[in-house]
C-alpha cells in the first residue's frame, strides 16, 4: 500500500513539564515511521522552547510538522481538542510526550483501517520503557465493555477517526486525567466501532522505578484514580445501569456494586443453572448476578471457580481455532490476580462454566437453547456463540467465587467436529477476548 493510498494520520503530542532527552526519542520514533502519510502536531505548554528546536531539527522544512505554542495552558484535554481542530489528517493519534512508536506502527494501523472498513477507534498492545529496557508487555483483548467499565485497559494511546469525533464529540475539558477514558465510554454508548491490533506498537515511558512512591506521588495517583471512578459512574448513569462504583484498595481497578436486590420478583426473566455439587463463597450472589444480567446487552452471567487447594479452576473459558475450550487462569493461585488482573476483575468472556450460571430466558429461547447433538464443553460453547451472534454479552464475575467437586466435562471428538462445522468462521477468527500473543491451552494467561 503506497502512502498516498492510505489514510492520513495526525500524531498529536501534548508537551508539558517535558524531559527533553525522552521527548527527542519520541519525535525521532515518529520521524522514523516507514509509513509517511502523517503529520506531527505538537501542542507545547512548556516555558522554554526546547521542544520546538527538537521538532524543527528532526523535521526541517518537511511540511509535516505543525508546532503550536499554547497560549492557554490549561491541560491535556484543551490542548488535544485544539490539536484536533487544527489537524488535517483522517485520524487523530494521541501519543504520550515521552513514549515511543514501533517503526512500522503507523503502517500497521493503516493496514488495519483498510482491512476493517475505516473503523472509528483503533488501539494496540503496548509495553513499558524504562531507560533503554522494555518490560511488562500488555496484551489486551478486543473491545471488552465489562472490563472497560472496571479499568481503562485500552489506555490513552488511540486512533480516532474524524467521523467518530463528529458523532461522539471532543474531549471533556473539565477532566484533567480521564478525558480519553471518558471519550472511550461515550463511544461505547454510541456503539462506535473499535478495532484492536494485537501488536506491541508503542512503548510507554515509566519513571516510577527511578522516583519511588512518595506521599505526593501517591496523592497524584489517587486523584487520577478518583477521576476515572467519577467518569465510570457518569457513564453507568447515562446507560441506565443501576450500579455504584467503589474504590479498590490496590487502585488497579474499581469495583461495580450492581443492584439486583429485586431478583426474586423477576424469576420469570431468567434461568438459573446450578449443579448440586456447586458451593458459593459469597453472600447475596443471586442479587449480584441478576444486577449484571439486567443490563439490556447482557444475556449470561457466570462466576469464578476455585479448587479446594487454593488454586483457580476457571474464570470462564477461552477457545482456540479448533473449538477446544480451556478454563481461563487454570491452576493459578487463588490469592493473586493472574495476568493483568484477569482473575479478579469482571469482564466479558466467550464462555462461562456450565455448572453455575444465570441466563436471560428470552435470549435462551430465541437462540434455540442447547444443541442436543453436542456434549460437554462443546455444547456450552455452541450456546455462547449463539448468544454472541445475537449481539449480547456474556460476563464472568471474577469477584464471586464458587467451588465444585471435580468431574469430567470434556467434549467428545464427534462433538468437537460438529462444533467446528457449525462455527467454522467464528472459530477460525479466534477468541476475541483472549490475545493471540498469549499462550493457548491450559497454561493460559501466563508470560514466559
Assign 402 to helix, strand or coil: strand
| Residues 195 and 230 placed together within one structural domain of the fold | no
Place of cell 443453572: 273
- Note whether residue 250 is domain-resident: yes
- Note whether residue 244 is domain-resident: yes
Rounded distance, CA 78 to CA 95, Å? 15
| Residues 40 and 185 placed together within one structural domain of the fold | yes
- Note whether residue 433 is domain-resident: no
- pLDDT of 410 reads 73
- Note whether residue 269 is domain-resident: yes
C-alpha cell at 182: 471518558
Between the CA atoms of 241, 151, 92 and 127, what dihedral angle is there, to the nearest 10 degrees? -160
DSSP secondary structure string for all residues of 409-431: -PPPHHHHHHHHHHTHHHHHT--
Task: Give the residue among 222, 268, 223 at the shortest CA–CA distance from 249.
Answer: 222
- Note whether residue 40 is domain-resident: yes
One pLDDT digit (tens) per residue for the chain, 448 residues: 456 578 999 999 999 999 999 999 999 999 999 999 999 999 999 999 999 999 999 998 889 999 999 998 889 999 999 999 999 999 999 999 999 999 999 999 999 999 999 999 999 999 999 989 999 999 999 999 999 999 999 999 999 999 999 999 999 999 999 999 999 999 999 999 999 999 999 999 997 555 567 888 888 999 999 999 999 999 999 999 999 999 999 999 999 999 999 999 999 999 999 999 999 987 899 999 999 999 999 999 999 999 989 999 999 999 999 999 999 999 999 999 999 999 999 999 999 999 999 999 999 999 999 999 999 999 999 999 999 999 999 999 999 999 998 766 777 889 999 999 999 999 999 999 999 999 999 999 998 7
| Residues 266 and 320 placed together within one structural domain of the fold | yes
Which residue blocks in 41-161 are alpha helix, DSSP H?
50-58, 76-86, 105-115, 145-150
- pLDDT of 27 reads 98
| Residues 386 and 353 placed together within one structural domain of the fold | yes
Report CA torsion sign: 359, 363, 364, 365: positive
| Residues 272 and 415 placed together within one structural domain of the fold | yes
Task: Give the residue among 156, 157, 158, 176 at the shortest CA–CA distance from 75.
Answer: 176
H-run or E-run covering 202: strand 194-205
- For the chain, how many structural domains are there in total? 3
- pLDDT of 353 reads 97
- Note whether residue 161 is domain-resident: yes
CATH number of the structural domain spanning residue 286: 3.90.550.10
- Contact of 433 with 352, CB cutoff 8 Å: no
What range does the domain containing 230 cover? Answer: 215-255
Report CA torsion sign: 277, 283, 284, 288: negative
87: left (phi over 0), alpha (psi -120 to 50) or beta: beta
DSSP secondary structure string for all residues of 258-280: E--TTGGGGGGGEEEEE-TT-EE
Place of cell 467499565: 149
| Residues 114 and 19 placed together within one structural domain of the fold | yes
- Note whether residue 302 is domain-resident: yes
- Contact of 293 with 259, CB cutoff 8 Å: no
Last residue of a domain, which of 210, 237, 272? 210
- pLDDT of 408 reads 65
- Contact of 336 with 446, CB cutoff 8 Å: no
- Contact of 357 with 384, CB cutoff 8 Å: no
- Note whether residue 168 is domain-resident: yes
- Contact of 9 with 93, CB cutoff 8 Å: yes
Rounded distance, CA 347 to CA 183, Å? 20
| Residues 159 and 245 placed together within one structural domain of the fold | no
Instruction: Return the percent helix, strand and coil in the chain, to nearest 5.
Output: 35, 25, 40
- pLDDT of 290 reads 98
| Residues 75 and 200 placed together within one structural domain of the fold | yes
| Residues 267 and 133 placed together within one structural domain of the fold | no
Assign 164 to helix, strand or coil: helix
DSSP secondary structure string for all residues of 312-374: EEESSEEE-TT--EEETTTT-BTTS--GGGTTTS-EE-SB--TTEEEEEHHHHHHTTS--TT-
- pLDDT of 218 reads 83
Please state whether the predicted TM-score (pTM) of the whole model is above 0.85.
yes
| Residues 206 and 221 placed together within one structural domain of the fold | no
| Residues 224 and 292 placed together within one structural domain of the fold | no
| Residues 240 and 320 placed together within one structural domain of the fold | no
Amino acid at each position: 500500500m503506497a502512502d498516498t493510498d492510505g489514510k492520513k494520520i495526525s500524531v498529536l503530542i501534548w508537551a508539558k513539564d517535558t524531559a527533553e532527552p525522552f521527548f527527542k526519542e519520541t519525535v525521532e520514533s515518529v520521524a522514523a515511521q516507514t509509513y509517511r502519510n502523517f503529520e506531527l502536531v505538537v501542542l507545547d505548554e512548556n516555558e522554554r522552547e526546547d521542544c520546538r528546536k527538537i521538532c524543527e531539527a528532526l523535521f526541517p522544512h518537511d511540511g509535516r510538522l505543525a508546532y503550536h505554542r499554547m497560549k492557554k495552558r490549561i491541560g491535556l484535554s484543551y490542548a488535544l481538542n485544539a490539536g484536533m481542530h487544527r489537524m488535517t489528517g483522517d485520524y487523530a493519534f494521541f501519543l504520550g510526550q515521552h513514549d515511543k512508536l514501533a517503526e512500522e506502527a503507523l503502517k500497521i494501523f493503516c493496514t488495519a483501517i483498510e482491512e476493517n472498513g475505516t473503523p472509528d477507534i483503533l488501539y494496540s498492545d503496548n509495553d513499558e520503557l524504562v531507560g533503554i529496557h522494555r518490560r511488562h508487555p500488555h496484551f489486551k483483548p478486543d473491545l471488552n465493555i465489562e472490563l472497560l467499565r472496571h479499568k481503562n485497559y485500552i489506555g490513552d494511546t488511540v486512533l480516532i477517526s474524524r467521523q467518530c469525533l463528529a458523532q461522539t464529540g471532543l474531549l471533556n475539558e473539565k477532566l484533567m486525567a480521564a478525558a480519553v477514558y471518558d471519550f472511550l465510554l461515550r463511544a461505547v454508548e454510541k456503539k462506535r466501532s473499535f478495532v484492536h491490533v494485537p501488536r506491541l506498537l508503542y512503548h510507554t515511558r515509566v519513571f516510577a522505578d527511578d522516583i519511588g512512591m512518595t506521599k505526593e506521588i501517591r496523592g497524584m495517583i489517587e486523584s487520577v484514580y478518583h477521576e476515572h471512578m467519577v467518569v465510570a459512574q457518569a457513564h453507568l448513569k447515562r446507560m441506565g445501569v443501576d450500579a455504584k462504583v467503589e474504590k479498590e484498595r490496590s487502585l488497579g481497578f474499581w469495583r461495580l456494586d450492581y443492584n439486583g436486590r429485586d431478583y426474586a420478583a423477576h424469576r420469570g426473566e431468567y434461568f438459573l443453572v446450578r449443579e448440586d455439587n456447586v458451593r458459593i463463597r459469597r453472600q447475596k450472589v443471586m442479587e449480584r448476578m441478576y444486577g449484571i444480567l439486567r443490563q439490556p446487552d447482557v444475556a449470561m452471567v457466570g462466576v469464578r471457580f476455585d479448587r479446594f487447594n487454593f488454586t483457580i479452576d476457571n474464570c470462564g473459558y477461552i477457545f482456540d481455532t479448533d473449538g477446544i475450550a480451556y478454563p481461563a487462569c487454570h491452576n493459578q493461585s487463588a490469592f493473586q490476580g493472574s495476568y493483568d488482573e484477569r482473575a479478579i476483575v469482571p469482564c466479558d468472556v466467550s464462555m462461562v462454566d456450565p455448572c453455575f450460571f444465570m441466563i436471560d430466558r428470552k435470549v435462551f429461547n430465541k437462540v434455540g437453547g442447547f444443541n442436543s447433538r453436542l456434549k460437554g464443553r462443546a455444547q456450552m460453547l455452541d450456546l455462547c456463540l449463539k448468544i454472541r451472534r445475537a449481539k449480547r454479552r456474556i460476563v464472568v464475575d471474577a469477584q464471586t467465587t464458587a467451588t465444585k467437586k471435580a468431574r469430567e466435562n470434556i467434549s467428545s471428538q464427534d462433538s468437537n467436529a460438529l462444533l467446528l462445522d457449525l462455527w467454522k468462521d467464528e472459530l477460525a477468527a479466534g477468541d476475541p477476548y483472549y490475545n493471540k500473543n498469549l499462550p493457548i491451552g491450559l497454561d493460559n494467561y501466563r508470560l514466559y
